Structure 1
């Protein structure tokens, strides 16, 4: 049996890399959907509260920031899928960093 040549190994590694990148993007999409659901639930719960406290308002504000951050972060991941140009890759990285910062602030 022949050992696989370098081209076959390179092609296999590139295909695996794309599969894992897509898996990461899908996972982040699910996190984004979950974050949006959390925001909807918290906002609706807040609206039912007849006398919201400042703490209640802070919690909802924090969830809003986290949701915006998650959306920006996921956008950055999708920008980096495939073989984007250096400019698109850099913008994707900037979006991921900005999104992570907002999630942390929330």
Structure 2
């Protein structure tokens, strides 16, 4: 039972790290989870306990997937903003690529 609780605690710690966006400490937690899993094989965990641990691990995996998708989406958005300032890549009728750049505004603000 102690080994099951130890792994459950690690999985809950992992969940909190993901929810807090504290990803830099996750690799260290991976080693601790591997050790706990290897010790779990030597314990007398019940099917119910193992199923609960599997559910918690699957939830964490879903959170990690969502976080990765969010990071990818943010990166794409930042790239789009950066590229917008450099111009928009389009194609001519012949298929040649062309950059349409933004012309600076000639409008002048005065106080």
Q: TM-score, normalised by structure 1?
A: 0.44
Flag the structure with higher strand content: 2
Flag the structure with higher helix content: 1
Larger radius of gyration: 2
Q: TM-score, normalised by structure 2?
A: 0.43
Identify which of structures 1 and 2 has the higher relative contact order when contacts are C-alpha pairs closer than 8 Å and 6+ apart.
Answer: 1
